[in-house]
Structure formats: structure tokens, C-alpha cells
Amino acid sequence: MRSLPNVITFARLLAVPLAVYCIVSGDLEGAFWVFVAAGVSDAVDGAIARLCDARTALGAFLDPLADKALLVSVYLSLAGIGLLPLWLVGLVVFRDLLIVGGVLLSYALGRPVAIRPLYISKLNTLVQLMLATWVLAVNGPGLFGLESLHLFDLAPLALLEGAVVLTTLLSGASYLLYGHRLFRQPE
């Protein structure tokens, strides 16, 4: 039971290329279901790890890696086929690179940090998941009867994009402040 959350997380990592393939090949309905299954697996592996006291160092590393691999890959793929604006995807990817760069810098300077997401970062991930899910649902042929809606005429899209921008900026700024405080402390 202790390794089950890690197996689920690893399966989510394996779903990344499948989601990308579905998007770039035009199977947005398939991509939707792969993406939703991956999102559900994220909740399930976390719940199992907490409820069964099955948290591991590997899981603490793999879980955010799987989340970021899925989100960044799906966002880049959706931008590649013109369903998400490049500037938005660039902002999301830049924030993630900023965080990874900060973690690598902390290790390089001999001041490793615990990898724990901030609450604003969790909210940011949730909003990013919601945006990708909405885009896939609206553009997936026949999915939920939404195929008659034109993506860029929808107010929910603008609201979700705005929420992604806001939470991405707030999360990035929070991590910058955290890093600034960390590096100002004496060794």
C-alpha cells in the first residue's frame, strides 16, 4: 500500500505523451478523458498517501513533477494548435522555470529547500487544470454537446484565462519572495 500512490503518480507521468499525442492528432475528446483521468489520479494518489500514511520522498518529488509535466505539455500542445494564446503559455512556463531554477540554485549553493507548494501555487494549479479542461471540453467534438460553442466567444474562457494569469503572477511573486528571504538568511 505504501508504494501505491507512487505507482499512480508514475502512471500520470506515462499519460503525458498520450495526452499530447491526442491533442496534436486532433483527438481532443480523447485528450479530455486522458487529462481528466490524470487529474483524478492526482487527487487519488494524494488522498491515499495521506490516509494510509504512505508519504515518501520519491512521491514528494514525483507528484509535482507529474503535475508540471502534464500541465506544461498540455498547455504547449494547446498553444501549438491555436487553442491557447502563446503569451499565456509563456507566462505559465516561465513561472515553472523560475521555480525549478530557484530550487536548482538553492542546491548549487548548498542550501537545499524543502519542495512544498504554497497555497497560492495549489490554487494556480487548480485554475490551470480548469482552463485546460474547459478548452478540451469545448473543442472536443461532441463532448457534452458543447461543440456548437465557439471557444473565443465564451466568457468562461476569459475568466479562466484571467484567473490563470492572476494566480500565476501571484504564485511566481510568492516564490520570489520566499527565495529572497531564504538567500538573505545567514548560512
Largest CA distance in the chain: 59
Domain that holds residue 54: 4-184
What cell numbers appear for 8 in the block? 499512480
Task: Tell me how many domains the chain contains.
Answer: 1
Question: Running DSSP on this structure, what letter comes out for residue 185?
Answer: S
CA distance 79 to 120: 24
* CATH classification of the domain holding 133: 1.20.120.1760
Output the tens digit of pLDDT for each of the chain's 187 residues.
568 888 999 999 999 999 999 999 999 999 999 999 998 998 888 888 888 887 887 787 888 889 889 999 999 999 999 999 999 999 999 999 998 888 888 888 888 877 677 899 989 999 999 999 999 988 876 666 555 555 545 678 899 999 999 999 999 999 999 888 877 877 6
Q: What is the pLDDT of residue 21?
A: 98
- b/e map of 147-183 (b: 16 or more CB within 10 Å)? eeeeeeeeeebeebbebbeebbeebbeebeeebeeee
Closest C-alpha among 45, 42, 22 to residue 33: 22
Q: Which residues contact 36 (CB under 8 A, 6 or more apart)?
A: 133
Query: Quick one: how far is CA 69 from the chain centroid?
Result: 7
CA distance 74 to 23: 8
Q: What is the pLDDT of residue 74?
A: 97
CA distance 121 to 96: 10
Do residues 9 and 106 make contact, with C-beta atoms less than 8 angstroms apart?
no
Q: What is the pLDDT of residue 148?
A: 56
What's the length of the chain? 187
The residue behind cell 495526452 is 19
Q: What is the pLDDT of residue 185?
A: 75
